[in-house]
Amino acid sequence: MSRLCILGGGFGGLYTALELSRYPWSEPPQITLVDRQDRFVFSPLLYELLTGEMEPWEVAPRFRDLLSSTSVQFVQGSVASVDLKSKRVMLADGRSLDYDGLVLALGGETPLDRVPGAAEYAFPFRTLADAQRLRTHLGFLEEQQEQPPIQLAIAGGGASGVELACKLADRLGVRAQIRLIELGSQILSGFAESSRVAAQQALQDRGVQVELRTQVLRIEAANEKQKDNLLLHVRRIDSEAVAADPVHTVLWTVGTQVSAVIRALDLPKTEQGRLQVLPTLQLPSFPTVFALGDVAAVVDAEGQRVPATAQAAFQQASYCAWNLWAVLTQERPLLPFRYLSLGEMLSLGVDTAVLSGLGGFTLAGPLGYLARRLIYLVRMPTLEHQLKVGWNWISRPFWEGLLPR
């Protein structure tokens, strides 16, 4: 019996595991999915938890529920190290897993050590725990009725920063003043012009102050006894003057780094620490080891560099599963990954979004929001979860209408 070990339960890892469980093995393998959390997080919809548009179980279903009708075993634990030569994975609690085929899909982490004070005072937004912590913190700030408007600063003008700014502006309204701080000369660098224009309009309509070409230097507590009163030190890159602005909350969405486990592997990597892989997603020196998602620097069959996005990881999972099956069974040829960009989707507040598709097609506003929801519904990991979430979306307005106000 082949032993397949998949490290990381994000889009790359979970979807690879589900695909492998459906393949026609002559002898069914032992497939083990390892993740330090007990829930899969559909990260593009994480923002909806802040505004109550979605419920935690919709965005973050339990692995055991998703895998209950499959042959995949779920192991909750943190990966401590990987020994590629002896084909063994060590977990932090002392357990070990031997494998014949390995998938590295540990995802990325938000680096908080690049600016002094970020690790102590800033809120990252990548996991369910991050969203729950931020939601609790916002509730506390909202209860402070006597204070002046809540001062929020969001570091990073990429997709995560823009979506957070719009959602929080809709949730907090006039009770908050929100700043979006971006080191570059524009928000959403690398996105389609139509997406950027729609986002700029959404931010302007919500009164979000966008500060371009501005660097965050450090974050510190204004008062050691009250960590909700912070000083944010920023500087425009064309000026030597440093401003120390009082804020209540700093959200950090800048950058992605690979985990310490990946950094420790003695393998060829890019300057960003991502593993260099073949177009088949294999490690060059280890043909039964595959890497995808945030940990892998993928150049596809057409020679194009593949972005580290959920969309790309979703597509890579199918190729990874096929190629792992093919290399172990030797029944079919391996396939080089071919990335197809299906456009961009951004949530720009409650009940509004923008989609920029192939051929310059753009859909914005409530119709964009509806299309985005339907596309993500189809991409959810299992049919059972799709049906549960879809029914909840349909029935929720009805049940909320019956509740007393």
Model pLDDT for residues 296-316, shown as the tens digit of each residue: 999 999 998 998 889 999 999
The residue extents of the domains of the chain are: 3-36+77-110+257-329, 118-252, 344-402
What's residue 400's pLDDT? 60
pTM greater than the 0.85 cutoff: yes
Asked whether the domain spanning 118-252 has the same topology as the one spanning 3-36+77-110+257-329, the reply is yes
Mean per-residue pLDDT of the chain: 92
Amino acid at 336: P
Task: Specify whether domain 3-36+77-110+257-329 bears CATH 3.50.50.60.
Answer: yes
| Each residue's pLDDT tens digit, 319-368 | 999 999 999 998 899 999 999 988 899 999 999 999 987 667 889 999 99
Helix (H) / strand (E) element for 380: namely none
What are the tokens at 278?
A: 């073949």
pLDDT at 254 over 90: yes
Count CB-CB contacts under 10 A for residue 223: 10
Q: Does the pLDDT of residue 401 top 70, yes or no?
A: no
- Averaged over 198-222, what is the pLDDT? 95
- Residues with Cβ within 8 Å of 85's Cβ and at least 6 positions away in sequence, in order, are none
Give the pLDDT confidence of 143-188 residue by residue, as tens digits.
Answer: 886 677 999 999 999 999 999 999 999 999 999 999 999 999 999 9
Q: Residue 46 carries which DSSP code? A: T
Residue 172 φ then ψ, to 5°: -95, -25
pLDDT digits (tens, 9 = 90+) for 103-115: 999 999 999 999 9
Q: Which CATH class is domain 118-252?
A: alpha beta
Count other Cβ atoms within 10 Å, centred on residue 231: 17
Q: Is 168 in contact with 50 (CB distance < 8 Å)?
A: yes
Average pLDDT over residues 210-229: 86
The owner of tokens 């309204």 is 173
How far apart are the C-alpha atoms of 8 and 322, rounded to whole Å?
A: 18
Report the pLDDT value the prediction gives residue 145, as an integer from 0 to 100. 61
Strands, DSSP E only, in 207-311? Answer: 209-211, 214-223, 226-236, 243-247, 249-252, 257-258, 275-276, 282-283, 286-291, 296-297
